Amino acid sequence: MIPIGDDNTYRRTVPVVTYGLIALNVLVFLAELNQLDTGNFLVQWGAVPVRISHGQGLETLVTSMFLHAGWWHLLGNMLFLFVFGDNVEDAFGHVRYLLFYLVCGVLAGLAQVLLAPDASLPGVGASGAISGVLAAYLIMFGTNPVRVLLGFFPLVVPAYVMIGVWIVLQFFNGLAGVAQTAQSGGVAYGAHIGGFVGGIVLTLVLRPSSSRRPRSRLR
């Protein structure tokens, strides 16, 4: 189930932070491609759990959010951020939204370290931070209609269905990953779950009352 659009009827501002984050992720990825040794670059700036668990490389909890392992990894993350980030940014405001995004990303990285403290594979990607954005969207805009592709078939479903399916997949993949040192197919599902749970808590604390406005249907 791939999201391709949502209802922006009540969005009041241009999502400059969301667009800026997308641009920054793309620029950093292009810089990755120009590295002579991409693997070493990812190890240097990615979040390596065993290193962080020993109090080293804590800055990589932030830098790793802007690194990606390939084009599909990047494009998938940026699609979710593009579809769901704008309404969350509009509800929170630009500065609060940026801080929310970064904190969710850090919490996601820490969750993966907690799950696999001895892992030496660097964690990279915006997935943890975007998981927090999805949590905020679910809480504030859960009934918002979202356009999705199910295979080749376009559908419109409530956001809680789209995001609910996503989090269920993360949960079960995360359980499967625990048996494989918390990683499955190179994807840090623990970070996804950590970012989502962090996003729920932060949204419940910071949730602006203006987010409780009515939603319209897609036309």
* Residue 92 structure tokens: 């929170």
Least Cα distance to 94 among 6, 12, 199, 159 occurs for 12
Q: At CA 142, angle to CA 140 and CA 143, rounded to 5?
A: 120
Residues 139 and 91: beta-carbon distance below 8 Å: no
Residues 104 and 183: beta-carbon distance below 8 Å: no
- Which is catalytic among the residues 192, 209, 211, 216? 192
- Which is catalytic among the residues 64, 127, 131, 211? 127
Q: Is there a catalytic annotation at residue 127?
A: yes
- Radius of gyration of the chain measured on its C-alpha atoms: 17
Least Cα distance to 26 among 76, 99, 97, 75 occurs for 75
* Residue 178 structure tokens: 């625990």
Sign of the dihedral through C-alpha 52, 201, 99, 124 = positive
Residues 86, 94: Cα–Cα separation, whole Å: 10
Counting beta carbons within 10 angstroms of the beta carbon of residue 59, is it exposed (0 to 12), middle (13 to 18) or buried (19 or more)? exposed
Residues 136, 129: Cα–Cα separation, whole Å: 11
Active site residues: 127, 192
